[in-house]
């Protein structure tokens, strides 16, 4: 993040526990407009929990989430969406009984910005040819694209992308890389949660590595690969 | 067109068929099935205690007729509002989902039944001794009122299905978390659908109470009313305007036909019909049309 750019998202000292499990344990980071921040870490390190907290799927025990300078901790999810936060899901979650077009239209109508044309969104995500098909009839990678299209239809300023690369073939990964970089070029801030290091390397500007709900490392991916704490977290002691 | 055909049928059939009570009940179940369709077919929440709204409407209207001497038409509307009030009290049930919601809703309807039927409240609700409305007895007027309620339910359901609001409800039915991520205010949208659904049951119960004029708590809080409405919606096809109409027409027609012609085989035949449908047409009769590429309204 360049020092003269105001962050669009600031998360500060987030804490969340489920029973005895500390899912988030003091994680903090920020993202600037147009920046792509990677969030990496072993399974169970709190990456998806972090996305759920930012989008308001569940509340925090403590900590602050500021979007465009405004604290949004207590806002319900749909209000956060209308402010400009959206996400894709680790397991694609489109509206299976609705058509591809209806999936995008509902987000376009309710997501806060009616100027986003669903046809245009389907065009840029490569779903225009199948817009009349039911979402339930799509394969997994098409459903991931539809998740992304639904998110884009709300005109987000911050997009949280949860393991969108998993299950994609090399060609699809390359296209997804280009798409995400194109979105960042438009000024959208992206938080990319991913296990595929090569994909993260090609997409992100910098990464934060999490372990047990805490920040383990922040910086460039190649530096992370040489950090003994990161190596230990991924490979074990 | 669906609305027009329905209206014409119920306007002209009485001229050649004199069982007005059966026609009234069929209209009532069509309206109830449509009301249930709004909350179940469009949002996916199945209220086993839907009859609670029906009973609240019947009692709400009857009590203002008895104690405040209201005329039946505003009393029917008040019956709808009484059901809406009950619906508002039950909105916290939406914290539950699936079978838990259905069962909690059933428990709430049973609780309401026991409150109404409580002998200690007989000075207010008439308790288990029931309601008698001889002063407003007018089955013809109640018949036309029920037809107006059915038309209202059909128009409302049709508008909801074709509107942006209907699209939002469809999104909620498919995945509430994703619906929130599409910007839909899930809590408010679901509550609106719930209260509209309650209103339809409430005015239907009020019109039913007016039509029969003498009823008891177990008459208007009978679980069979919910069961019939649910089965009619499922049999015809939920989430469509036509499905609940077709389901009621076929099943309630069969129910009466078999019950009169061959009552000894009634349970067997009726049960068999439902089992066959669940096995071979789980999405309802109207799914046959959809499979042939016909758009079902």
Instruction: Convert the pLDDT of each residue in A164-200 to its tens digit.
Output: 888 888 998 999 999 999 999 999 999 999 888 889 9
On whether the CB atoms of residues B241 and B79 are closer than 8 A, the answer is no
The alpha carbon of residue B44 is apart from the nearest alpha carbon of chain A, in Å, by 12
Pairwise pLDDT comparison (A64 vs B260), residue with the higher score: A64
CA A149, CA A100: separation in Å to the nearest integer? 9
Q: Hey, are the CB atoms on B167 and A105 less than 8 Å from each other?
A: yes
Nearest to A78 among B164, B174, B183 (CB): B183
3-class secondary structure, A236? coil
pLDDT of B17 reads 86
Radius of gyration of chain A (CA): 17
Q: Where are the domains of chain B?
A: 20-222
pLDDT of B272 reads 87
Q: Does A58 touch chain B (CB under 8 A)?
A: no
Tokens of B198: 């309650």
CA A32, CA B254: separation in Å to the nearest integer? 66
pLDDT band at A236 (very low <50, low <70, confident <90, very high): low
Q: Hey, are the CB atoms on B184 and A98 less than 8 Å from each other?
A: no
Q: Hey, are the CB atoms on B170 and A97 less than 8 Å from each other?
A: yes
The separation between the first and the last C-alpha atoms of chain A, rounded to the nearest angstrom, is 32
Residue of B163, B192, B189 lying closest to B176 (CA atoms): B189
Tokens of B188: 């408010």
Q: Hey, are the CB atoms on B181 and A76 less than 8 Å from each other?
A: no
The alpha carbon of residue B27 is apart from the nearest alpha carbon of chain A, in Å, by 30
pLDDT of A3 reads 45
On whether the CB atoms of residues B33 and B247 are closer than 8 A, the answer is yes
Per the DSSP assignment, residues forming a β-bridge with A21 are A18
Q: Hey, are the CB atoms on B184 and A78 less than 8 Å from each other?
A: yes
Alpha carbons within 13 angstroms on the beta-carbon side of residue B175 total 20
The separation between the first and the last C-alpha atoms of chain B, rounded to the nearest angstrom, is 10
In what helix (H) or strand (E) does residue A21 lie, and over which residues does it extend?
A: strand A21-31
Tokens of B64: 């203002």
Tokens of A156: 């987000």
Q: Is A58 left (phi over 0), alpha (psi -120 to 50) or beta?
A: beta
Q: What is the DSSP annotation of B24-90? A: HHHHHHHHHHHHHIIIIIHH----TTTHHHHHHHHHHHHHHHHHS---HHHHHHHHHHHHHHHHHHT
φ/ψ of A159, rounded to 5, equals: -120, 125
* B 44-63: CB under 8 A from A: none
Percent of chain A at pLDDT exceeding 70: 96
Q: Hey, are the CB atoms on A82 and B183 less than 8 Å from each other?
A: yes
pLDDT of A4 reads 52
- Average pLDDT over chain B reads 92
pLDDT at position A207 over 50: yes
Strand pairing class (B214-215; B131-132): antiparallel
On whether the CB atoms of residues A33 and A183 are closer than 8 A, the answer is no
Q: Is the dihedral of CA A113, A116, A121, A124 positive or negative?
A: negative
pLDDT, one tens digit per residue, over B29-88 is 999 999 999 999 999 999 999 999 999 999 999 999 999 999 999 999 999 999 999 999
3-class secondary structure, A60? coil
**Spelled out in words, what is the top-level CATH class assigned to the domain A1-84+157-237?**
alpha beta
Per-residue pLDDT averaged across B260-275, rounded? 81
pLDDT, one tens digit per residue, over B198-256 is 999 999 999 999 999 999 999 999 999 999 999 999 999 998 999 999 999 998 988 88
pLDDT of A237 reads 53
Burial class (CB in 10 A: 0-12, 13-18, 19+), B68: exposed
**pTM for the structure as a whole:** 0.88
CA B143, CA B153: separation in Å to the nearest integer? 15
In what helix (H) or strand (E) does residue A46 lie, and over which residues does it extend?
A: none
Residue of B82, B29, B33 lying closest to B56 (CA atoms): B82
3-class secondary structure, B126? coil
Q: What is the DSSP annotation of A66-118? A: EETTEE-TTS-HHHHHHHTEEEE-SS----TTSBHHHHHHHHHHHSS-TTS-H
* B 256-295: CB under 8 A from A: none
CA B84, CA B199: separation in Å to the nearest integer? 5
Q: What is the DSSP annotation of B109-121? A: HHHHHHHHT-GGG
Q: What is the ipTM of this complex?
A: 0.90
Per the DSSP assignment, residues forming a β-bridge with A87 are A160
Q: Which of B165, B178, B186, B284 to mutate to test the interface with A (most CBs of A within 10 A)?
A: B178
pLDDT, one tens digit per residue, over A113-164 is 656 789 999 999 999 999 999 999 999 889 999 999 999 999 999 999 999 8
Q: Where are the domains of chain A?
A: 1-84+157-237, 93-155
- Average pLDDT over chain A reads 91
* A 132-161: CB under 8 A from B: 150-151, 153-154
CA quadruple B287, B288, B289, B291: dihedral, nearest 10? 80
pLDDT, one tens digit per residue, over A12-28 is 999 999 988 999 999 99
Per the DSSP assignment, residues forming a β-bridge with A29 are A11
């Amino acid at each position: 993040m360049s020092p003269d750019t105001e962050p669009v998202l600031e998360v500060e000292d987030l804490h969340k526990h489920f029973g005895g499990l500390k899912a988030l344990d003091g994680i903090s980071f920020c993202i600037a407009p147009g920046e792509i921040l990677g969030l990496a870490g072993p399974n169970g390190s709190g990456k998806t929990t972090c996305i759920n907290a930012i989008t308001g799927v569940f509340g925090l025990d403590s900590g602050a989430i500021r979007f465009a300078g405004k604290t949004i901790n207590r806002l319900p999810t749909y209000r956060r969406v209308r402010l400009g936060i959206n996400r894709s899901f680790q397991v694609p979650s489109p509206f299976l009984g609705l058509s591809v077009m209806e999936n995008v239209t509902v987000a376009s109508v309710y997501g806060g910005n009616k100027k986003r044309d669903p046809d245009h969104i389907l065009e840029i995500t490569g779903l225009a040819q199948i817009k009349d098909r039911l979402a339930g009839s799509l394969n997994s990678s098409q459903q991931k694209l539809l998740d992304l299209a639904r998110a884009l239809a709300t005109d987000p300023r911050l997009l949280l992308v949860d393991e969108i690369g998993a299950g994609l073939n090399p060609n699809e990964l390359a296209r997804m890389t280009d798409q995400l970089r194109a979105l960042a070029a438009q000024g959208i801030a992206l938080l990319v949660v991913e296990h595929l290091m090569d994909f993260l390397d090609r997409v992100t500007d910098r990464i934060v590595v999490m372990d047990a709900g805490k920040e383990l490392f922040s910086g460039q991916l190649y530096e992370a690969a040489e950090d003994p704490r990161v190596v230990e977290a991924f490979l074990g002691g | 067109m669906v609305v027009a055909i329905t209206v014409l049928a119920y306007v002209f059939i009485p001229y050649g068929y004199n069982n007005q009570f059966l026609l009234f009940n069929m209209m009532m179940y069509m309206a109830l099935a449509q009301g249930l369709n709004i909350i179940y077919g469009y949002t996916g929440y199945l209220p086993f205690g839907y009859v609670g709204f029906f009973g609240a409407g019947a009692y709400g209207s009857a009590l203002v007729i008895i104690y405040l001497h209201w005329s039946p038409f505003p009393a029917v509307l008040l019956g709808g509002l009484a059901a809406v009030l009950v619906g508002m009290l039950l909105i916290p049930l939406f914290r539950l989902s699936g079978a838990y919601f259905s069962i909690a809703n059933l428990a709430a309807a049973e609780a309401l039944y026991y409150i109404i039927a409580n002998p200690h409240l007989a000075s207010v609700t008439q308790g288990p001794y029931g309601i008698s409305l001889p002063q407003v007895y007018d089955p013809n007027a109640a018949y036309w009122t029920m037809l107006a309620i059915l038309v209202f339910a059909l128009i409302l359901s049709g508008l909801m299905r074709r509107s942006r609001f209907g699209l939002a409800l469809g999104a909620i039915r498919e995945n509430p978390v994703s619906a929130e991520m599409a910007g839909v205010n899930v809590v408010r949208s679901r509550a609106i659908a719930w209260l509209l659904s309650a209103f339809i049951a409430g005015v239907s119960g009020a019109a039913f109470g007016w039509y029969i004029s003498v009823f008891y708590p177990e008459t208007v809080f009978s679980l069979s009313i919910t069961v019939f409405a649910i089965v009619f919606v499922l049999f015809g096809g939920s989430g469509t305007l036509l499905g609940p109409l077709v389901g009621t027409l076929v099943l309630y027609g069969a129910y009466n036909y078999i019950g009169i012609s061959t009552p000894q085989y009634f349970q067997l035949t009726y049960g068999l019909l439902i089992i066959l449908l669940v096995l071979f047409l789980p999405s309802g009769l109207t799914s046959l049309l959809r499979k042939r590429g016909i758009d079902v309204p």
